[in-house]
Amino acid sequence: MKILKRNIISLQEAEKLIEKYYEGETTVAEEHLLRKYLSGKNVPAQFEAEKAIFGYFAGEKEKQNVRITPNTLKWVVSIASAAAAVVLFLGIFLNTQYSTTSYAYVDGKKVTDKNEIRALAQITLENIAGTDEVENGLKNIESGQTIEGQLNVFKELEF
Amino acid sequence: MSSERFKKEILPLRQQLFHLSRKMLGSEQDAEDAVQESLLKLWRVRDTLKSYDNPGALATTVTKNTCLDKIRLRKQNYTIDEYIKIGDKDDPQLQLERKDTNKLIEMIIQTLPPLQQQIIRMKDVEGYETEEIAEITGTTVEAVRTNLSRARKRVREGYLRIVRGSE
Amino acid sequence: MGKYLILTLLLAVGFTTNLSAQSDLAINKVFEQYGKQKGSVLVEMSREMLKEYDFTYYKSIVTTDNKEAADFARECLGVDQKGAKKVKQVVSNGVLSSIYLQLPQKGKYFRLILFNETTSPERKMTLIYIESEKDSEEILQINLKRR
């Protein structure tokens, strides 16, 4: 998968993912990638319906995240110092969307949105997990040996 | 933890709730849908379960109501075709609504069977994974995928028919 | 006031302990030098985000069209390999294209390094460092078979 600046997936990849989407087989991370792609500027006309659908769901998601649960408020209010309450509240709210200890960098630009980070990790793991061609013809790798060939996966390793 | 409570006290009742639904609705497929919808509703209120002495009674009530809603809905089924017919009349208000894609998608989703609506919301809006939804509804990942797939395809079809059909 | 201080301290401690998770390894230099460059994707995730993978710590880098980074990574892996519990390698056209290293446990944590380089359709290097409480082989089987 080629990673180009901010546009994480290509048209072909988008097509594949959209097909998967309609089969109900995409993961939350993959759907996040699609959402980013479809909310971009030059979305091909063939994806008109998908752009509308993902746009709608993105809007609904926004409405969800802004809601503050009663439990959070109770806990926050019970803290004595008003300043502390504000800082802690921000910390909790930000932590539901943004992580303070997890992050990613794409082309040197920092990413703190949890969903994006997860999606990037997913792609990275997939580099190791192999491609379609390799799926059909895996050999077992014996411990301590080196093997010539075009193998580039670790699936089905004999441990 | 309320999800633990849900799994311990509500999920095991699935069989009973299914039988109840089948009695009320007469069909196994409808009963299966009703049970899944009810479980999703109960999941939504799982935080309040601890305040019930008898969560089983709550589950029964929710299921009964879900079935009654289904029976009522059988009589009025607002489909996309009807919406298209209405939209063809010269109503500027409706013409405008057609341009609002968000409203359109929302409306289309509302014409979906209730279970599909719930599942698509949980996946696409709330971000639950398929495995989680399967666990909550006591079904297989495959069953959730099928419903999700149908729901999404219908939304797409509906949207394209309305948007392109009007040209 | 006291509660606030303690919480800040805890957050600070949590933050720093994660940063040093793999700092004793040579591959750490790969993350540091190439992580924030153009064409690179660097990901670091700690516990809270890793539940679905059964990891306790994850760090990865992917570089594109960067031969220097790939060669450097191989060098570092050569160093980290010493004392490793298990080593598996795949050689492609005379070059190590895939490396799997299981490092000695750090307390109850299993540690794992995965390296992979492809040259077509473009040169892409992937380097992943994982810590988990479950046996790394189990983890790999589960996660890589997910597809």
Q: Which pLDDT belongs to residue A87? A: 54
Q: How distant is the alpha carbon of residue C22 from its chain centre?
A: 8
pTM over 0.90: no
Please judge whether B147 and A24 are an interchain contact, meaning their C-beta atoms are less than 8 angstroms apart: yes
Please judge whether A24 and B159 are an interchain contact, meaning their C-beta atoms are less than 8 angstroms apart: no
Of A87, A105, A117, the CB nearest to C45: A117
Q: Which pLDDT belongs to residue B32? A: 94
Integer Cα distance of C12 and C70 in angstroms:
33
Given the DSSP bridges, would you call strands A103-106 and C95-106 parallel, antiparallel or unpaired? unpaired
Q: How distant is the alpha carbon of residue C28 from its chain centre?
A: 9
- pLDDT exceeds 50 at position A3: no
Integer Cα distance of C51 and C106 in angstroms:
20
CB of A154 within 8 Å of a chain B CB? The answer is: no
- The size of the A-B interface in CB pairs under 8 A is 58
Beta strand residue intervals within chain A, DSSP E: 103-106, 109-111, 146-148
Amino acid at C143: N
CB of A12 within 8 Å of a chain C CB? The answer is: no
Of A21, A23, A53, the CB nearest to B105: A53
Query: Taking a C-beta distance cutoff of 8 angstroms, is the pair B115, B147 a contact?
Result: yes
- What's the mean pLDDT when you consider all of chain C? 78
Please judge whether A57 and B125 are an interchain contact, meaning their C-beta atoms are less than 8 angstroms apart: yes
Mutate which of C17, C64, C88 to test chain A, going by most A C-beta atoms within 10 A? C88
- Give the distance from residue A147's alpha carbon to the nearest chain B alpha carbon, in angstroms: 37
- Give the distance from residue B115's alpha carbon to the nearest chain A alpha carbon, in angstroms: 15
- pLDDT exceeds 80 at position A91: no
Q: Which pLDDT belongs to residue A90? A: 58
Integer Cα distance of B6 and B48 in angstroms:
10
CB of A106 within 8 Å of a chain C CB? The answer is: yes
Query: Taking a C-beta distance cutoff of 8 angstroms, is the pair C102, C110 a contact?
Result: yes
In chain A, residues with a C-beta closer than 8 Å to the C-beta of B144 are 24
Helix axes B130-137, B141-165, angle to 10 degrees: 110
Q: Name residue, tokens 């359109």.
A: B104
Residues 112-151 of B with CB under 8 A from A: 121, 123-130, 144-149
Integer Cα distance of B73 and B68 in angstroms:
9
- pLDDT exceeds 70 at position A35: yes
Q: Which pLDDT belongs to residue A148? A: 28
Question: What is the chain A residue with the closest CA to B147?
Answer: A24
- pLDDT exceeds 80 at position A31: yes
List Cβ neighbours of B146 (8 Å cut-off, separation of 6 or more). Answer: A24
Q: Sorting pLDDT into bands at 50, 70 and 90, what band is A70? A: low
pLDDT digits (tens, 9 = 90+) for A124-154: 887 876 533 222 222 322 222 223 222 334 4
Q: Sorting pLDDT into bands at 50, 70 and 90, what band is A41? A: confident
φ and ψ at residue C82, rounded to 5 degrees: -65, 125
- pLDDT exceeds 80 at position B42: yes
Token pair belonging to C76:
């570092």
- The size of the A-C interface in CB pairs under 8 A is 141
DSSP assignment of A101-145 = S-EEEETTEEE-BHHHHHHHHHHHHHHHH--HHHHTS--PPPTT-
First-last CA distance in chain B: 53
Token pair belonging to A21:
């989407």
In chain B, residues with a C-beta closer than 8 Å to the C-beta of A31 are 124
Integer Cα distance of B142 and B134 in angstroms:
8
Please judge whether C49 and A148 are an interchain contact, meaning their C-beta atoms are less than 8 angstroms apart: no
Please judge whether A59 and B160 are an interchain contact, meaning their C-beta atoms are less than 8 angstroms apart: no
Q: How many H-runs (helices) and E-runs (strands) does chain B carry?
A: 10, 0
Q: Which pLDDT belongs to residue A136? A: 26
pLDDT digits (tens, 9 = 90+) for B111-163: 888 899 999 999 999 888 888 899 899 888 899 999 999 999 999 999 888 87
Of the candidate ranges B3-12, B39-48, B71-80, C47-56, the one whose mean pLDDT is the lowest: B71-80
ipTM summary value: 0.78
- % of chain C residues with pLDDT over 70: 76
Q: Which pLDDT belongs to residue C142? A: 57
**Nearest alpha carbon to residue C100 among C70, C126, C62, C124:** C126
- Give the distance from residue A148's alpha carbon to the nearest chain B alpha carbon, in angstroms: 39
Q: Residues for chain C: how many in total?
A: 147
pLDDT digits (tens, 9 = 90+) for C52-96: 777 888 899 999 999 999 999 999 999 998 888 878 888 888 888
**Nearest alpha carbon to residue A88 among C11, C46, C15:** C11
Residues 22-81 of A with CB under 8 A from C: 79-81
